[in-house]
Structure 1
Amino acid sequence: MVDFSLGEDLEALRASVREFAHDVVAPVIGDYYERHAFPYDLVRQMGKMGLFGLPLPEEYGGMGGDYLALCVALEELARVDSSIAVTLEAGISLGAMPIFRYGTEDQRRHWLPKLTSGEALAAFGLTEPGAGSDAGGTRTRAVLDEETGEWVINGSKAFITNSGTDITALVTVTAVTGTNPDGSKELSAIIVPSGTPGFTVQPGYSKVGWCASDTHELNFDNVRVPAANLLGERGRGYAQFLRILDEGRVAFAALGVGLAQGCVDESLSYAKQRHAFGHPIGDYQAVQFKIADMEARAHTARLAYLDAASRMVNGREFKRQAAIAKLQASDAAVVNAREATQVHGGYGFMNETPVARMWRDAKILEIGEGTSEVQRMIISRSLGL
């Protein structure tokens, strides 16, 4: 028999994060969202709860858990707000995990305790104005100055999460460091600490959603960092970030499921309160069926991410399952957000309601960490097409 129960520890984690999301995040996040302000106080509290160290070993300040624990926490946070959830997701999946997976022991011991405590954030500089899904279009370059033993970096990155906060400690940057024997670009990953001369963080974007998360364009003008800041092997940057994105898609799927389930939560509550023609609107079959379909989408997407996460933590191949989970969860989030807005009627179009935030936040889930088209490409290739 297949058992989808999570066990006592994960259920305890779920309950703890759910309480934090409802009691601490929900009452204040709308104000942060409307002001486009980063919720430093909430991030600090998440750090004290150990959430930023969930899947990382205790020797580096982590909680000694795994990606399934991270996914459970992300789902519960996103049921209330996606900005705070993506801050955690990117802080771990794209910030700390590259250091843990590919860093030297010195790099791990220097950076990870700060990141797992939530005292600092790290970002992952992959996307560029002309290179998103097509990493081969990367133009940022890093040249090794043999005389000084430093990398000299020039270029720019776009749409980078957690890259410009007051507590951002570093950005891991992918850059062209040479040419491969077959003529393709040699890509490597390099750690650039915040405040390095020539490294400029541009003003934050005006975004449709995720308005309480931090997103910036980054510029690198003759930025010099030690050769020892190379992350992993030279020329392996492409393979490294593919693995990081595979893992990140599992976490991203959990975030999408949280948003989809949050739409169910809000719609159920509203359907019981709102009366029309003498009855709660939840008494009408049209509303009942709409909410039933929303629940089915969230449940199905949850099973997909649980499968991908289980495969991952057990050392099994999970690339296709991660793509499926991300595709299903983002679709469920977008459709459920639209339907939840419909259930709420005019109130769903008012920014002070949670479903309005969810509607604005949902679309990026079909774009970030690999578009839906990229997920379909991964799935079809894995089938031999």
Structure 2
Amino acid sequence: MAVDRLLPTPEAADLIALTREIADKELAPLVTKHEASETYPEGLFAKLGRAGLLGLAYPEEFGGGGQPYEVYLQVLEELAARWAAVAVATSVHTLACHPVNAFGTDAQKERWLPGMLAGELIGGYSLSEPQAGSDAAALTCKAERTEDGSGYRVTGNKAWITHGGKADFYALFARTAPGSHGISCFLAPGAAEGLTFGRPEEKMGLQAVPTTSAHWDGAVIDGDRLIGEEGQGLQIAFSALDSGRLGIAACATGLAQAALDAAVAYANERTTFGRRIIDHQGLGFLLADMGAAVDSARATYLDAARRRDLGRPFSRQASAAKLIATDAAMKVTTDAVQVLGGYGYTRDFPLERYMREAKIMQIFEGTNQIQRLVISRHLAA
């Protein structure tokens, strides 16, 4: 069923209605086929870009939607309720646009942001490495000045890149000097000579959008693709991660909502002992707990988003939202499988896929153990 949302403006309500229409028309009919065959939905992100859904949180002067984060996240949730992989990739694209928007020069913004926000250029985020996931300061991928000083020669390996091998650009974080202040950010072209990608990871879920490793074999990046100053990379990365965590919280909430809706629909139709199974108290209470968990997840990420929109600190709230929403998605999807019994375990229904997709939500954009660490440090400050 459609979520009853409290939106700040009539324009936002129209945007949600448009998103639902697009998601029902362009995403819902394709998801089962592409997830089962692990095939990429060519052209789909361009359609989302033309509809204005890939730049909603960015300034209108560069072609963005100029929407507050609380509205953008609810759009993301609607996408996730139809196709989690597409919603996650949309969140990652939004994250990849952040360095240029927040730290780029006027010339860099004018050159790249319009195409990025229109979806003409799809982005990936390349921070993690095989031995440096949550510990971003341990990066070893190097970017060294070329002999003539006009660019950077990149050497090393990156990991866990959503849209790897498909994206047109990557927000790349590489080491330009020793120490935690020696990491820099680059807007790396996806077709750089000397850049190759590993085979897509064989994942439990989100199979229609590839996640890959990347190998930089002395690829040269022009000097004008350095975003911010040398050594500012971790500041840039961390400034985006709180917002990225809210994106994953919204995706998890949309996934949980889809699972709840499917479970409720089944419980209203299935009968045992002469009654709908939703009328049996044991199962009715289970569904009630699922509904409460989805409502709580949504309220938590919206609280953090509204703080962000007001310019107030929201790091602790973002970590709490990511923790609560993704744990809720894991529990709700697991319980939804239980509601359907044996049918929930089959691919005749999408619940088993929802359950597999929910698991990764607890891991990326900082594991939920990292979120607990962030929250505890704020409490101790």
The two structures have a TM-score, normalised by structure 1, of: 0.94
Larger CA deviation: 265-274 vs 37-46: 37-46
Structure 2 equivalent of residue 27 of structure 1: 29
Larger CA deviation: 117-126 vs 21-30: 21-30
Query: Residue 82 of structure 2: SS of its match in structure 1?
Result: coil
2:242, 2:319 within 8 Å by CA — same for their partners in 1? Answer: yes
Distance 1:213 1:154 in 2: 26
Query: Residue 12 of structure 2: SS of its match in structure 1?
Result: helix
Distance 2:230 2:181 in 1: 12
Distance 2:207 2:300 in 1: 28
Look up the equivalent residue of 1:293 and give its one-letter code: D
Query: 1:107 aligned to 2:108?
Result: yes
Give 1:110 shift: 2.0
Look up the equivalent residue of 1:174 and give its one-letter code: F
Structure 2 equivalent of residue 329 of structure 1: 325
Larger CA deviation: 267-276 vs 104-113: 104-113
In the alignment of these two chains, the number of paired residues is: 377
Query: 1:354 aligned to 2:350?
Result: yes
Give 1:185 shift: 5.5
Larger CA deviation: 348-357 vs 202-211: 348-357
Structure 2 equivalent of residue 169 of structure 1: 168
Give 1:117 shift: 1.5
Which aligned pairs between 1:93-104 and structure 2 lie closer than 5 A?
93=95, 95-104=96-105
Structure 1 residue runs without a partner (length 5+):
none
Structure 2 equivalent of residue 278 of structure 1: 274
Deviations, residues 9-32 of structure 1 (Å, cap 9, x unaligned): 222222221222233321221001
Q: Quote the sequence identity (%).
A: 37
Query: Residue 29 of structure 2: SS of its match in structure 1?
Result: helix
Look up the equivalent residue of 1:263 and give its one-letter code: A
Structure 2 residue runs without a partner (length 5+):
none
2:181, 2:232 within 8 Å by CA — same for their partners in 1? Answer: no
Look up the equivalent residue of 2:28 and give its one-letter code: A
Distance 1:298 1:113 in 2: 35
Distance 1:122 1:60 in 2: 16
Query: 1:60 aligned to 2:59?
Result: no
**Inter-CA distance 28–4: structure 2 relative to 1 (3 Å threshold):** closer
Query: Residue 152 of structure 1: SS of its match in structure 2?
Result: strand
Deviations, residues 352-377 of structure 1 (Å, cap 9, x unaligned): 42212211100111111010011011
Structure 2 equivalent of residue 88 of structure 1: 90
Give 1:4 shift: 5.4
Deviations, residues 279-324 of structure 1 (Å, cap 9, x unaligned): 2211211111111001101111111111110010111000001001
Give 1:250 shift: 1.2
Give 1:41 shift: 3.6
**Inter-CA distance 148–186: structure 2 relative to 1 (3 Å threshold):** closer
Query: 1:15 aligned to 2:17?
Result: yes
Structure 2 equivalent of residue 134 of structure 1: 135
1:246, 1:323 within 8 Å by CA — same for their partners in 2? Answer: yes
Deviations, residues 109-140 of structure 1 (Å, cap 9, x unaligned): 22222221122211111011000001122110
Give 1:47 shift: 1.5
Distance 1:202 1:187 in 2: 24
Equivalent position to 2:230, from 216, 228, 234:
234
Structure 2 equivalent of residue 120 of structure 1: 121
Structure 2 equivalent of residue 372 of structure 1: 368
Deviations, residues 149-174 of structure 1 (Å, cap 9, x unaligned): 22111111111012221xx2111211
Give 1:252 shift: 1.3
Structure 2 equivalent of residue 71 of structure 1: 73
Equivalent position to 1:38, from 37, 40, 44:
40
The two structures have a TM-score, normalised by structure 2, of: 0.95
Distance 2:181 2:59 in 1: 34
Give 1:191 shift: 1.9
